Amino acid sequence: MDTIVILLRGNSGSGKTTVAKALHQQLGAEAVLISQDVFRREIFHVKDTPNNHAVGLMMEALLYARGKVPFIIVEGIFAREKYQDFLLFLLESFEKCLIYYFDVPFQTTIERHRTRPQRAFFPESSLQKWWLEKDLLFGENGIASESNDTSNKSVLSKEKIFTEKQTISEMITMILEDTKQFQE
């Protein structure tokens, strides 16, 4: 069985976890959800540093799930510079990857943060400190540029962008439509 990886990246409060959970709920037993926050904050209780202990376990979970389920949903901030090794591993280990970046204005993430349980664990000032503007994987400053050999030929249309104007339902529909290209 070929496994399709669906990578959802973006800043804190951009909507990636909400979409990942809704997509996972819809796909049910056909999907595994690997959430950066669960591995880093809940399993290991480690800071968000390059190659922290959670990274290795996420890699192992990806390899374990490969071939066992049709879909692996991977979601998290996954800052390009900090998680470059993990992101390259993902692109090199899976032939079929769909990548989505949540490009949501900073003010929107602040407004969303005010409604979340996490607001008790980190203040709005942390969101500003962590903020990464257009942290895309591909392009001139990306980890996998057009001229780079690590660019996986099966990555669908490079990285697609989600904005705050799209609904959760619209995002899930787009993702599911994109998976059909690999299933033909």
- In the structure, what pLDDT confidence band is assigned to residue 112 with cuts at 50, 70 and 90? confident
**Structure confidence at residue 154 (pLDDT):** 53
Query: Rounded to whole angstroms, how far apart are CA atoms 33 and 121?
Result: 23
Residue 29 has phi, psi (to 5 degrees) of -70, -5
Select from 177, 147, 148, 182 the least CA-distant residue to 160. 177
**Structure confidence at residue 176 (pLDDT):** 97
Q: How many CB atoms lie within 10 A of CB 120?
A: 7
Long-range contacts formed by 42-46: CB under 8 A, 24+ apart? none
Query: Rounded to whole angstroms, how far apart are CA atoms 68 and 61?
Result: 11
Burial of 7-18, coded b for 16+ CB within 10 Å and e otherwise, reads: bbbbbbbbbbbb
**Of residues 142 and 62, more confidently modeled:** 62
**Domain count of the chain?**
1
- In the structure, what pLDDT confidence band is assigned to residue 106 with cuts at 50, 70 and 90? confident
Which residues fall within 8 angstroms of residue 143, CB to CB, at 6 or more apart?
A: 80, 84, 87, 88, 137, 150
Tokens coding 1:
């069985």
Residues spanned by the domain of 33: 4-183
Q: What does the pLDDT look like over 13-63, one tens digit per residue? A: 899 999 999 999 999 999 999 999 999 999 999 998 988 999 999 999 999
Tokens coding 54:
């959670």
CATH of the domain at 48: 3.40.50.300
Tokens coding 23:
């997509």
Task: Look over the chain and give the mean of its residue pLDDT values, rounded to a whole number.
Answer: 87
- In the structure, what pLDDT confidence band is assigned to residue 121 with cuts at 50, 70 and 90? low
Contact 105, 14 (CB under 8 A): no
Task: Indicate the DSSP class of residue 88.
Answer: H
In a 10 Å sphere around its CB, with 0-12 CB exposed, 13-18 middle and 19+ buried, how is residue 60 labelled?
exposed
- Please provide the DSSP assignment of 1-37 as one string: ---EEEEEEESTTSSHHHHHHHHHHHHGGGEEEEEHH
**Structure confidence at residue 148 (pLDDT):** 47
Q: What is the greatest pairwise CA distance in the chain? A: 46
3 state DSSP class of 159: strand
